[in-house]
Structure 1
């Protein structure tokens, strides 16, 4: 989702680029010092990929929250609530409920079974080469589309942070984000990236919490008064309808069901979230980290409810909708309304820092997947040393960083909401069915895994390409003049997710090759008990 851009006439008196730059540079300087200190203990592949499995459940839970709460979702959800009321809050509910799936079905079992990446689980009892290639393909696809959305969001935040509105200035800032991201990963590995996520999560939740208290204080700490003010705002043409379901999805509820399926099931298949489970020493800590993440993310999404309706009450939906950033300008406009240039500077700088942290997490996930799954396991057949593997991961980081910079510049100014939807849809369609089948179905085969991952990936990509988010609508990426949209829904989840499960089952039952029953039994014991899982690295 594009981040907000405030119109010059509204922010001219309030915008303070020097203050905004100073706040942002302080964050970068502090986190870079921490990253450099963390890098001193990076001595092995486990250190670079999994932080030496040295983080506690609480620390990892805060880092997971930092990974999950991207600037795009923060700005987008507040704006969706400000414009569409109840229906906008359904995004928050979907994102939060998704963690119950991760907690109950994935977190502990993944930690017990794998080593560094999602493909470690999928290839445990199946053929290494085809499964790792397919898993690396879906990991890179999800990570890259998520990266594009974050980089485009960085370009959109430029006017808030620096007062730069031209395309060249935004392109330069996207490049700066990419370079800083590469430095975080190259220098600090997973340890450095995790500490950046922890700091960012604390700042983002603290900033949103302060704004929430401020909004409630203006209305006597009475949330009903905030809702009344939003309903009665002169710019609210929908009246009390913003308090009831149906304003956004009433015309096509199937579209919401499809989106909800992707959000709820996609989280448990996001590779950069799954990789976080390997940074803790025990399965108990993996469980604890998800519980911490649920609490923090849940509290944050309650803040977005107050902030969304608060923006509707204090700024007005028409003002928000007419800003160049559209819905996504709600949170920055509210910050400017509440605290002037200081709060606007803090919120915009924290949102920018959020992008830095999220893209760093995505980059190290994609790099680890290529180096560990393709280079070492497939090309070198597991014979590469840890030093060689980490070297390839660092080279991959440079390549992915450069691609993200070019891609972010290419999609700036475009409607990039479809990139976020695509990332979740691919994760839910390709990754989650294969993970669940691998963990819970003893008759799952290599053919089933490859069919599920490749089929889920292709179906999600093709259906989104043929949907209204790409062509044929006013908000389409290619505009209303180009129209080849034959798929009516904006998210393919309701079709591609069942298809991913179906292909996994069909490939398995039609496969003539029988997988090892001994490995299936060993995987089940390891997943349920943790026996045989790699012990924590001692320093």
Structure 2
């Protein structure tokens, strides 16, 4: 979802925006303050519950704010603002999709997951199924989602910071990515989930406050009249500008564009409830009631923020103009920074850019601790050691995993820099919706569901999703008819091995994963365990025995 920050990595020859000195000073102040907070929060990180779940010490409102900080990535600020500025109504559909996704999380998974699991998604999936194969499958799908998500975030961080600091060249941008990765490793290594949560809370407050200030500023320019703002965007767009306030400007051009939107929307709406770094946040609160409260708080904060993006997007269209946005480094994703520069000069630009940087840093920290927990808790402690491991030993492995994942993310981010890394984000959501969600739903609600069904669903969803993406126009074969340039990840227009016209696999891989779960279950000779399902159902709905499950 961090396509906004990520695509800035593709900026042609980094071009200085604002004052690098101001930007460095603001970035430095933010990093210093958050590091102090992380070190203070890390004093009590002794057990696995402390490191993975922050000792379950956060309240619903605190966790809800952290969830908003985890969820509102750079795409929510940079990407959606640009999409609305250029495509109006159709751009705002992204905001609607991201917000509606939280209703799925609230109604289907939040409270039930908190009651049933301990630290990771695999705790829930393996509750009444065979531990080792299910934990391995869940951990692999978690690591796949996290890795692709991390690539986009790291490359986005490199592009954004390099753009604002006037850094040029692949080597220099690679150095920026390495610095961001080192900061991420330090935050997670020292602070664990508690430190990461506080970084996310601060980032959410800064992002929402920054968006609120810019929203009021834009509205003040138009006498607090939304109609005048929309008319300003229409006028600035020139001939055909009226389509900015009507559906179909981007996704109504052809039947295939409508199918692409449907597929992307399906992945975004269902993928959120299967994103492992979002699901893990439910374990940082002391009870299921607080888990439910945290999701309600997150929905309010995220919903208010997306209303701000509507004003900011149309404001960028009216005050900056679509031509200036498309011509700027980073193209469509430059809308929000250019609007900040238009409103308040280099100081506001520096502040908003620091907030965007904080956004990326908070998200990568959340992703890293999720991957570390998945490897250390699921693969090392429960598959390799079969549960015979001391809590402090598990935490040591988690910390080593953080360093390994951080190094891989830095290397991958450097290679992905300048690529179409937006595709990696779409893949992360599609994988989450395909590999994780069907198994979570079946585990919680279908009595007959068994280990075979879980493995068919998870591996089938994971493999089909990646194969469909690999042979889609996102990787090869998509050419801009106006310029003749490749719009795919592979920039050579002569390379074309795409087999399906669909750009996001969600429309195929998500129903397929649900179907495979049913087929795998019905074909298996494994005996059902109604007593385990009954125990899981009582625990998930009432919380009885949940606290016992959280103790080593």
Query: Scaled by the length of structure 2, what TM-score is found?
Result: 0.95
Match for residue 334 of structure 1?
339
- Per-residue deviation at 1:519? 1.1
Assess, with a 3 A threshold, how the Cα gap between structure 1 residues 215 and 130 changes in structure 2: closer, same or farther.
same
Q: Over aligned residue pairs, what C-alpha RMSD do you find?
A: 1.7
Match for residue 169 of structure 2?
166
Assess, with a 3 A threshold, how the Cα gap between structure 1 residues 353 and 536 changes in structure 2: closer, same or farther.
farther
- Residue 271 of structure 1 pairs with residue 276 of structure 2: yes
Unaligned segments of structure 1, at least 5 residues:
none
- Per-residue deviation at 1:11? 7.4
Match for residue 116 of structure 1?
119
Separation of aligned partners in 2, 1:322 and 1:462: 34
Match for residue 243 of structure 1?
245
Aligned residues of 2:14 and 2:167 also touching (Cα < 8 A): no
Aligned residues of 1:4 and 1:75 also touching (Cα < 8 A): no
Match for residue 4 of structure 1?
8
SS at match of 1:401: helix
Assess, with a 3 A threshold, how the Cα gap between structure 1 residues 148 and 10 changes in structure 2: closer, same or farther.
closer
Q: Deviations over 1:23-46 (max 9, x none)?
A: 111111111111111110112100
Unaligned segments of structure 2, at least 5 residues:
479-485
Q: Deviations over 1:269-318 (max 9, x none)?
A: 00000000000001000000000000000011111111111111011111
Question: Pick from 467, 491, 507: which aligns with 1:462?
Answer: 467
- Residue 493 of structure 1 pairs with residue 506 of structure 2: yes
Question: Pick from 135, 142, 145: which aligns with 2:148?
Answer: 145
Match for residue 476 of structure 1?
488
- Per-residue deviation at 1:158? 2.2
Separation of aligned partners in 1, 2:408 and 2:207: 27
Query: Scaled by the length of structure 1, what TM-score is found?
Result: 0.97
Stretch moving more, 69-78 or 441-450: 69-78
Separation of aligned partners in 1, 2:488 and 2:227: 36
Q: Deviations over 1:155-179 (max 9, x none)?
A: 1102343111221111111001100
Separation of aligned partners in 1, 2:454 and 2:9: 43
Q: Post-superposition, which runs of at least 4 consecutive aligned residues in structure 1 deviate over 4 A?
A: 5-12, 535-538
Aligned residues of 2:267 and 2:430 also touching (Cα < 8 A): yes
Separation of aligned partners in 1, 2:494 and 2:211: 39
Match for residue 300 of structure 2?
295
Aligned residues of 2:82 and 2:335 also touching (Cα < 8 A): yes
- Per-residue deviation at 1:77? 0.6
Q: Deviations over 1:408-454 (max 9, x none)?
A: 00011111111110010000011000000000001001000011011
Aligned residues of 1:23 and 1:349 also touching (Cα < 8 A): yes
Aligned residues of 1:3 and 1:329 also touching (Cα < 8 A): no
Within-5 A mapping of 1:224-235: 224-233=227-236, 235=237
Match for residue 444 of structure 1?
449
Aligned residues of 1:208 and 1:303 also touching (Cα < 8 A): yes
SS at match of 1:488: coil
Separation of aligned partners in 1, 2:433 and 2:396: 31
Q: Number of paired residues?
A: 536
- Per-residue deviation at 1:8? 10
Match for residue 29 of structure 2?
26
